[in-house]
Amino acid sequence: MSQSQTADRSAAPLAATGSPTGRSREMELLLCCTRAAFGADETASIGELVESGIDWDALIRDAETLGVLPLLCRTRFPSQAVPEDVGIRLETYLHSNARRNLFLARELLKILRILDERGIPAIPLKGPTLAALAYGDLALRQYSDLDLLLRQSDILNATHALAAHHYTLRLAFTPEQLEQELRSEHIHHLELVDPSRRMLIELHWHLMQERFFFKPDLGGIWERRVQRQLVGTAVDSLDPEDLVIFLCVHGWKHHWSRLIWIADLAGLIRNTTVDWRRLLDRAADLASKRRVLLGFGLAKHLLHTPLPAILEQEIRADRSLDKLVLQAERNLISQELPSSGRFMPYRHALELGEGVSHRTRILYTFVRKNARLNENDFAWIKLPRPLFFLYYPLHPVRLLARAIARAFGARE
């Protein structure tokens, strides 16, 4: 998903009331509709909320912001409860989304064929394959672009292959700049567009930027990939455990600011076979176990998702997780995400750090990445000119002190 799209989504706050949970009636109704999509009986709750009065424009806007508008459209409301014009809007959107998603699925298959003809394997991420897997229906997931994982060595060949089919790089790079992008530790994907059809493809060679402290063994991910059916065609997919871990880290990265990411987890629990012990062990090896537990803690808290016993046990054992679940819910409702800044990814990672050694590595990485002297060093301590050389060893001390202070502040 492009950064500009993410920024647009976070711009509009959701409607709010003085309810004890801080949730508006519209938010409560969206949660009920999402639970109902996964088999929960929410008939009475939906009826009561609609009877109490709903701002339908706000409801539709919030559903789109949170990525669950298709689930709202599919909800069975009490007879005569939905205004006629609203019902028409919902039905029109559902049919339009179904057509668009089927088009995207077929376009994905076309892209995979193009790459396969060049001997380039690719694993679709999210999008149509996740819709089919988690929801059993392409029409029930809201998405607008296609994400593919490729081997880094295949990226240039893939861009050339797709250029012959009207997909061009979103940013005009010279060959030298493109090579530099592929080597950068800050970049993990390229965007290709076909403006005539409003199509965006992201070609990933890593699942996450380095600053989010998630670096799985890509060789293992390729070896473990499985095949899934998409519109009658077999396509590669992340294996279930890798997929769940990736989705949890992705949701965490974006502060769980969209309900669709939590709904995806609920759908995977219901519709997919997962080896949960293996998943937790693999997540622990990636220092991501608490990020996984946070995702499923949210699924239980917001969507009342029945969890496997092993997840329930691990969530109960993590005493600080409840606080993080409530903070994530506040982010979801308010759409007021933490301000960005040089330290923010590190602080965000420290909140879910996996023990002392992991937190120490996060702090060390922050210091290493910010090793240049600046005006803050000179303001922190005044040294006479003959002792200016001491600013260099003092610089990491200052950064480490600031990082520790912020880390403890984040946990209070």
- Model pTM score: 0.80
Q: Which two tokens mark 76?
A: 């069975």
The pLDDT value recorded for residue 248 is 96
Q: Where are the domains of the chain?
A: 99-238, 344-411
User: 186, exposed or middle or buried, with CB in 10 Å at 0-12, 13-18, 19+?
Assistant: exposed
DSSP secondary structure letter of residue 337: P
β-pairing verdict for 146-149 and 199-204: parallel
What CATH number is given for 99-238 in this structure? 3.30.460.40
Residues 247-306 have pLDDT tens digits of 999 998 888 999 999 999 999 999 999 999 999 999 999 888 999 999 999 999 999 999
pLDDT value for 410: 45
How many other CB atoms are there within 10 angstroms of residue 86's CB atom? 16
Residues 6+ positions from 118 with CB-CB distance below 8 Å? 157, 158, 161
Q: Are strands 189-194 and 168-169 parallel, antiparallel or unpaired?
A: antiparallel
What pLDDT shows up at residue 100? 95
Task: State which H helix or E strand residue 227 sits in.
Answer: strand 226-230
For the chain, residues with pLDDT lower than 70 are 1-21, 174-176, 178, 180-186, 209-214, 337-374, 396, 403-404, 406-412
What pLDDT is stored for residue 214 in this prediction? 66
Q: Quick one: pLDDT at residue 3?
A: 38
SS3 402: helix
* The pLDDT of residue 209: 67
Task: With CA atoms as reference, report the closest residue to 25 among 64, 66, 3, 58.
Answer: 58
- Which tens digit of pLDDT belongs to each residue from 133-184? 999 999 999 998 999 999 999 999 999 999 999 998 877 776 667 676 666 6
